[in-house]
Amino acid sequence: MAKNKKFKLSVIIIIALLIFIFIFLFFRQNKITPPTPPLLPAPPAAEISISTDKKIYSSGETINIIIKNGLEENIFYYPGGDRVWEIEYLEKSEWKKFGYGGREGFQLTDERLGDSCYIALYEQVPPMALGTGLKISTAWDQKICPFKEGGFSEASVVRRIESGEYRLAFQFSFNLHDNAQLLFEPEIIYSDSFIIK
């Protein structure tokens, strides 16, 4: 009989303990939490950008170009040659590069329209850093010295770029190869498109 009483007491204690645990967990789960404040919109993400000052230009009008590093780290780019940006044109809903199966390539020039010009061959210079918050500002008057099929020794004639829809491209990297002469895993960003009438 004493054993039976001890057993019943043990069962009652275990049941009471389980009831207490369930009640504790129930109230803990259903406790009132203060309302969460509404989420505020995130600030605009910092970025690297290339942009023009307008969306539509007349023939010969100066195109002002800005490349900006809005990140908290330096980026690297190639500063050599006649420009730090490239340009692409839209043809039949496809963006194309100059000098590759379409319009001939070109260099920028300060010569007068109609003058003879020669393509300058540039040696590749080491990449340069564009620090955080810094920008490159440049302008282009739409004059070009087109490449000739006969080679770089033949003179070309300075002219304006053709009318059409264009966009600019800027190649950069976050790191350099070990020899510091090449961009490591370069990326390309594009401007919004613009029209030259």
Burial (CB count within 10 angstroms: exposed 0-12, middle 13-18, buried 19+), residue 139: exposed
Q: Can you give the pLDDT at residue 34?
A: 46
What is residue 38's predicted lDDT score, i.e. its pLDDT?
52
Residue 160 · residue 113 · CB < 8 Å: yes
More confident residue, 40 or 46: 46
> Residue 80 has what pLDDT?
78
Average pLDDT over residues 118-122: 77
Compute CA distances 164 → 102, 112, 152, 170, whole Å: 14, 22, 26, 20
pLDDT value for 46? 65
Residue 117 burial (C-beta neighbours within 10 Å; 0-12, 13-18, 19+): buried
Which pLDDT value is given to residue 30? 58
Does residue 51 carry a pLDDT above 80? yes
Nearest in space to 121 (alpha carbons), one of 157, 97, 145: 145
What pLDDT score does 49 carry? 96
Q: With cut-offs at 50, 70 and 90, classify the pLDDT of residue 47.
A: very high
pLDDT value at 131 more than 90: yes
Backbone angles phi and psi of 25, in degrees to 5? -65, -40
pLDDT in tens, 57-84: 999 999 999 999 999 999 999 997 788 9
The per-residue pLDDT for 25 is 66
- Whether pLDDT at 151 is above 50: yes
Could you tell me which of 17, 69, 34, 33 has the C-alpha nearest to residue 187? 69
DSSP code per residue over 17-68: HHHHHHHHHHHHHT---PPPPPPPPPPPPP-EEEEES-SEE-TT--EEEEEE
pTM over 0.75: no
In the predicted structure, residue 43 carries a pLDDT above the cut 50: no
**Domain boundaries 48-196, CATH class:** mainly beta
The reported pLDDT for the residue numbered 42 is 44
pLDDT of residue 121: 75
Q: What residues does each domain of the chain span?
A: 48-196
| 147 DSSP 8-state letter | -
